Amino acid sequence: MRRDVFQAIADPTRRDIIHLLSNESLNINAVAEKFEISRPAISKHLKILQECGLMSIQQEGRERFCRPNFEALQEVSLWIEQYKTFWETKLDHLEHYLNKSK
């Protein structure tokens, strides 16, 4: 099943994993050690992040490393941008109204 980026970022643990990987690529055990949940639960979160394209898992010798792919967040950025524009316009109108009311 192909998941989307919005499903991935909906969960706080997955957002924490994304943040963790933004600093460096880590092996799966290193990711799991940063959280107080079970290793199978972390594996499920990593699978979802991988399915939506936010990260990949690459084998290097005996280790499997999680590598971020933040280009997948572009979809979220574009979605947010439309609301940012909407709210900036609304706030500009409010500012204009309040200045006029003085």
* Domain around 12: 5-73
Could you tell me the two tokens for 34? 């940063």
Domain annotation covers residue 21? yes
* Cβ atoms of 31 and 42 closer than 8 Å: yes
19-67 pLDDT, tens digit per residue, is 999 999 999 999 999 999 999 999 999 999 999 999 999 999 999 999 9
**Count of domains for the chain:** 1
**In which band, very low, low, confident or very high, does the pLDDT at 3 lie, cut at 50, 70 and 90?**
confident
Domain annotation covers residue 23? yes
Can you give 28-71 as a three-state secondary structure string? HHHHHHCCCCCHHHHHHHHHHHHHCCCEEEEEECCEEEEEECHH
Query: Taking 90 as the threshold, does the pLDDT of residue 2 lie above it?
Result: no
Q: What CATH number corresponds to the domain at position 19? A: 1.10.10.10
Domain annotation covers residue 96? no
Determine how β-strand 63-68 pairs with β-strand 26-27: antiparallel
Q: Is 73 exposed, middle or buried (0-12, 13-18, 19+ CB in 10 A)?
A: middle
Domain annotation covers residue 39? yes
Domain annotation covers residue 78? no
